Amino acid sequence: MEISQRIIWIFSNSYILRKNSFLHRRPKFLLVSPIIFLFGLIRIIQYFLLQKSTETNIPNHLVIVTAAPHMHMNYFRLFNNNFDASKYLLIDSLNKKKFTQIMKLNFLDIFAEFFLTFKELVPILSRLNINERKNIKLYEATLSLPVFAYFTCLFKCIRMQNPESKIFSGGTNLVSAAGTTASIPVLWLAHGLIGPAKAYQKNIAFNPSRYFIALPKFQSIYLYSDDEIKYLRDYGIESQLCLYNYEKIDKFNKKIIIFLDAEDRFMNFEDLSNLIDWFKKYKYSLIVKFHPSYMGSLDKKFFKDREVRIAENHGASALKLMLEEKPMFVCGWLSTTLCEAFRLKIIPICLTSKKTDSIDLLHNFKQKSIFWDNEKNLLENCMTNNKDPFALFQKEKTKF
């Protein structure tokens, strides 16, 4: 039994049993359904009263902005690298004072979308048990149902004005599902490595023969790692699955770039200091880049005292810095940067302990990175190999 696009947003990125799941149970009376309805009605009235049309011509590309300002930036990398403002419209999906200003909608049209979704959603929610995160889903439905209804109506009106429109999403499944419900193609441009889907019940084993993953029907999904593509294919995702393209680096320099994490609690400063000393011994140029949102205790003096150059442009992307500096090595913790380095044939060094249980991203860090805590021999062999250190790294890693 499939989940319709009109309600899939509330179950997105979850494992669902192919047989004998809550979808196959009989619906029950849902005591809180009047609360969900009344809250949603008040909210869509609020959206309607906030409306003020500011867009006369809708461009072909609708770019969804979410909480993190960088989540939509891959749109420009792939589809608008000269930042042509005439090609796209930014839609702030979390700011009702902004998304209600795009186009004036008829209240009855908004209400119709709200009511159709409410009628479909409530019977499904009623089938959940408490141990299947029912209370969380009821709360989420109360808050998000009116948002979904408004965006569905908005996208239907946009499609009528511009049938060529497409939606580019950095990962907001609610707005993406609204787009697919409105029959607008939606492209998911992942802003980082994706993790595995979440479970409704604890202590269950996952496998593609027993479970499917609930996701909106994206036209295309752009990902960083071939491990992610294999994972989604195994679970039957029918969207076009694409890898981001990377430029080829012809010549590498005797450099290492260290990418700091956003928070101190994820970093071991002693390991960091030892790594710096190690590479200085081998006469490498060292560069450090602070995370754009870093607010921790590590100051620039820590690096300047060790003659480590600081990449001052905090807003520049990790990819841009790697392409400019062409280092032989990149160092960091569990992050998309290490995956990008691997794709560029730069050897990634991971400062996260290989023993940690938190390596739950789909990219295979253990096979595609050198771990500082227990693979220093491999690292030294790569550093002293003047022929093709990346080929040596890959050859040694295939033994694991």
Please, which pLDDT band fits residue 328 given cuts at 50, 70 and 90?
very high
Residue 253's H or E segment, with its range, is: strand 253-259
104-117: average pLDDT: 97
Q: What is the pLDDT of residue 46?
A: 97
- Alpha carbon distance 353, 334 (integer Å): 10
In the chain, pLDDT over 90 holds for what percent of residues? 65
Q: What is the pLDDT of residue 315?
A: 56
Question: Which tops the pLDDT comparison, 42 or 297?
Answer: 42
Q: Count each helix (H run) and each strand (E run) in the chain, helices first.
A: 14, 14
pLDDT at 263 over 90: no
Q: Where are the alpha helices (DSSP H) in the chain?
A: 33-50, 74-79, 96-99, 107-126, 134-161, 173-181, 226-234, 269-281, 300-304, 318-325, 336-343, 365-368, 376-383, 389-397
Q: What value does the mean pLDDT of the chain take?
A: 90
Which range among 107-121, 124-138, 220-234, 312-326 shows the weakest confidence by mean pLDDT? 312-326
Return the top range by mean pLDDT from 33-47, 59-73, 74-88: 33-47
- Sorted by sequence, the CB contacts under 8 Å of residue 386 that are 6+ apart come out as none
Q: What is the pLDDT of residue 255?
A: 96
Q: What is the pLDDT of residue 114?
A: 98
pTM of the model as a whole: 0.90
All structural domains of the chain, each given as residue ranges with its CATH number in brackets, are 8-243 (no CATH), 253-397 (3.40.50.12580)
pLDDT at 400 over 60: no
Please, which pLDDT band fits residue 205 given cuts at 50, 70 and 90?
low
The letter for the amino acid at 340 is: E
Q: What is the pLDDT of residue 382?
A: 92
Q: What is the pLDDT of residue 181?
A: 97
- Mapping DSSP onto H, E and C, the string for 70-107 reads CCCCHHHHHHCCCCCCCCEEEEECCCHHHHCCCCCCCH
DSSP state of 32: T
Please, which pLDDT band fits residue 357 given cuts at 50, 70 and 90?
low
119-144: average pLDDT: 94
Question: Which tops the pLDDT comparison, 66 or 400?
Answer: 66
DSSP state of 124: H
For the packed helices 173-181 and 134-161, what is the interaxial angle rounded to 10 degrees? Answer: 50
357-385: average pLDDT: 86
Please, which pLDDT band fits residue 55 given cuts at 50, 70 and 90?
low
Strands 327-332, 347-350: pairing kind: parallel
Which range among 45-49, 225-229, 267-271, 336-340 shows the weakest confidence by mean pLDDT? 267-271
Q: What is the pLDDT of residue 356?
A: 64
Please, which pLDDT band fits residue 362 given cuts at 50, 70 and 90?
confident
Please, which pLDDT band fits residue 47 given cuts at 50, 70 and 90?
very high
Please, which pLDDT band fits residue 257 given cuts at 50, 70 and 90?
very high
Q: What is the pLDDT of residue 379?
A: 93
pLDDT at 242 over 70: yes
